[in-house]
Chain A
Amino acid sequence: GENVEQHPSTLSVQEGDSAVIKCTYSDSASNYFPWYKQELGKRPQLIIDIRSNVGEKKDQRIAVTLNKTAKHFSLHITETQPEDSAVYFCAATSSFRDNYGQNFVFGPGTRLSVLP
């Protein structure tokens, strides 16, 4: 089955600096990779996603890159702000898999702290 690893587990950056979180996956059939942000005690919220037919996607200060050959994808946050502090989860799934009894496979999470 799919296995998703995520690094680092914790990350502290100064406000205004960039933050990068990297995930690796094992199943070459995975073709959809979302990123979720979860603030303490709240629901995970989708912040950006990427499909296997593109290598990079950007939305304002957030970008995701995908390297299918190496089976890794990364979240990039530029000009970090204190409100970016949260736990970030990556996930991997296949459009052919997730509605047949198997789900997104989530990484263990990265706790990002943006220091003012």
Chain B
Amino acid sequence: GAVVSQHPSRVICKSGTSVKIECRSLDFQATTMFWYRQFPKQSLMLMATSNEGSKATYEQGVEKDKFLINHASLTLSTLTVTSAHPEDSSFYICSANTGGGQPQHFGDGTRLSIL
């Protein structure tokens, strides 16, 4: 149980392209989903918290116009990296849980490479 699916797993595209990443909870309803960015050999850096039906809460230093988050249903959240540039290249990973104080279950992550 508690499976989170994330797509695509790998994206390679040209600078200026917008990239959409999907995160789905397959067998549970996730009121809240979380988006992280992870640099090589570093910890998970929270970008934003996505709540179904409301605006996402962004962490300090994360541009909300650059990283658009939509959480349209209890099983789907999307992250769109708009006009991506090489410095946006990273490993993006989502997670979801069923409520406060419950384990977070992670997707497989998306490796984004901007040329």
A interface list, Cβ under 8 A from B: 31-32, 34, 36, 41-46, 49, 51, 89, 93-99, 101-104, 106-109, 111
| B-chain residues with CB within 8 Å of residue A106 when the two chains form the complex | 43-44
Contact of A34 among B41, B103, B108 (CB under 8 A): B103
Shortest 4 CB-CB distances between A and B: which pairs? A95-B101, A101-B57, A95-B100, A43-B106
Contact of A43 among B93, B101, B111 (CB under 8 A): B93
Query: Assuming the A-B contacts A45-B106, A95-B101, are A109 and B42 also in contact, with contact meaning beta carbons closer than 8 angstroms in the complex?
Result: yes
Check A31–B101 contact: CB distance below 8 A: yes
Q: Which of chain B's residues has its CB closest to A30's CB? A: B101
CA distance A32 to B41 in the complex (A): 25
CA distance A96 to B102 in the complex (A): 11
Check A103–B46 contact: CB distance below 8 A: yes
CA distance A109 to B49 in the complex (A): 21
Query: Assuming the A-B contacts A32-B101, A95-B101, are A42 and B43 also in contact, with contact meaning beta carbons closer than 8 angstroms in the complex?
Result: no
| A-chain residues with CB within 8 Å of residue B107 when the two chains form the complex | 43
Check A34–B100 contact: CB distance below 8 A: no
- B contacts with A, residue count (CB < 8 A): 24
Check A96–B100 contact: CB distance below 8 A: yes
Task: Report B36-69 CB contacts with A as 1/0, cut-off 8 Å.
Answer: 0000011110100100000001000000000000
Apart from A95-B101, A95-B102, A99-B31, what are 19 other A-B pairs with CB-CB below 8 Å?
Answer: A36-B106, A41-B111, A42-B108, A42-B109, A43-B93, A43-B107, A44-B93, A45-B106, A89-B43, A89-B44, A94-B101, A96-B100, A98-B101, A99-B99, A99-B100, A101-B49, A104-B104, A106-B44, A108-B43
Check B108–A46 contact: CB distance below 8 A: no
Check A93–B101 contact: CB distance below 8 A: yes
Is B32 at the interface (CB under 8 A from chain A)?
Answer: yes
Is B75 at the interface (CB under 8 A from chain A)?
Answer: no
Check B100–A43 contact: CB distance below 8 A: no
| A-chain residues with CB within 8 Å of residue B97 when the two chains form the complex | 98-99
